[in-house]
Structure 1
Amino acid sequence: MLSQLAPTLGRLLISEPFLMDPNFSRSVVLVTEHEEQGTIGFILNHPSALLLKDLIPELENADFTVYIGGPVATDTIHFIHRCYDKINDGEEIAKGIYWGGNFETLKILIKNNSIQADEIKFFIGYSGWGVKQLEQELKENTWIVSDQYHPDAVFSTNEEELWREVIVNLGPKYAHVSRFPHDPRLN
């Protein structure tokens, strides 16, 4: 097994390099909930073609990229942030990283240009695993679990490099994995 860490709140799930599921290929998922009933997280490095203003027209200046959080409930909008001092709401999922909060307050802050792109990330849908599903995928080496990351990585807009960066941050034991081709037949 590649990873001995449990996929608890605030940890990252890093997809193995040859995962063929298009929903999770080269994905970095922030775990926002992990309980007996299952796990919820958001893919940090799969941007959609949408901006927040496309989904919420009243926020005409909201040029925030909306990410594809996962294949579940893609008709919902979620957000993580590191600006609790402005929103004064949200569930802390890692040191200085919060999930959700009062959306009405957030809309006012966005309209007043008080929120910066490096403080918040929006998602359509989420990633979800049922009871024992993620544990089985971990046994199959589908995911590496990490708690070794800087909060800046969560809010990175360099989606192409994020997967590689978090792998390299795991140390020399994993660094070689970051150079694997997308298609193992090309190796």
Structure 2
Amino acid sequence: MSELFGDRLFNALERTDPAPGMLLVAAPGLVAGEFTRSVVFVIEHGETGTFGVNLVARSEVSVDEVMPEWLAITAKPKALYIGGPLSRDTVLCVGVTKNGIDPAGNPQLTRCANRIVYVNGAADPAELATDVDGVRLFAGYAEWAPGQLDEEIARGDWFVAPALPGDILAPGPADLWSDVMRRQPTPLPAFATFPVDPRDN
């Protein structure tokens, strides 16, 4: 990415380490195919690497077409999202619990942050309805080898920020990348309107 957006912007900010329940927000100038203006929710991060799902890449495929049993608890838009470039024949599920629900009481739910949970895809969705406000289904995921993500963050490709429940279940018209940028420390909100193609500016 360019020196302008790497060195002068993200590299100048106070660093937050990636962890489960955090967001990886693509730098404004990052042009890396599927990761341009992406917001990746981190599901796991540790010595063996990092993996998560891109919250912004919605497909044209309806959940009803591929996993109709999940339709009732899937948040609108009820579409299958593209979680990342790897293993797109694998579907991952992330959800948001209802207020007052302790995920520890349900073995199908693993708490990531706030009310955000990683959901066992083999669970019976009908049995989750009383515990979750909604879920999102992702085909595939993004993954980084040990040390790889740290190098990309140090280079200024990603900004790490806490995730909110609303990020997981964002409505279809939302521009999640811009919304997340607007709530970050200065100067990031100023870049919330950064165009996909800088030539459009």
TM-score normalised to structure 2 length: 0.79
Q: Which residue of 2 aligns with 1:134?
A: 149
Give percent identity, aligned residues only: 29
Equivalent in 12, 17, 29 of residue 28 of structure 2: 17
Gaps of 5+ in 2: 1-10
5+ residue gaps, structure 1: none
Paired with 1:6 and 1:101, the residues of 2 have a C-alpha distance of: 26
User: 2:83 is matched with which residue?
Assistant: 69
Match of residue 94 from structure 1: 113
Q: Does residue 169 of structure 2 align to residue 155 of structure 1?
A: yes
Q: Which amino acid aligns with 1:55?
A: V
Q: Measure the CA separation in 2 of the matches of 1:91 and 1:181.
A: 36
What's the offset of the Cα at 1:102? 5.8
Q: Tell me if structure 2 keeps the 8 A contact 1:11–1:30.
A: yes
CA deviation after TM superposition for structure 1 residue 109, in Å: 4.7
Question: Is residue 41 of structure 2 the alignment partner of residue 30 of structure 1?
Answer: yes
Q: 1:78 aligns with which of 86, 92, 97?
A: 92
**Secondary structure, in 3 states, of the residue corresponding to 2:29?**
coil
Would the alpha carbon gap of residues 56 and 166 (structure 1) be closer, same or farther in structure 2, given more than 3 Å must change?
A: same
Report the aligned-residue RMSD. 2.6
- Give, in whole Å, the separation in 1 of the partners of 2:60 and 2:94: 19
- How far the C-alpha of 1:44 sits from its partner, in A, is 0.7
* CA deviation string 1:94-119 (max 9, x = no partner): 1211102263421x358xxx489961
Residue of structure 2 equivalent to 1:7: 18
2:57 match: 46
SS at 2:178 equivalent: helix
Which residue in 1 is equivalent to 2:7?
none
| Equivalent-residue separation in structure 2 for 1:12 and 1:125 (angstroms) | 17
| CA distance 1:102–1:72, change in 2 (3 Å) | closer
- Number of residue-to-residue matches in the alignment: 181
Task: Write the deviation string for residues 128-157 of structure 1: whole angstroms up to 9, x where unpaired.
Answer: 01111111111111111001x431122112
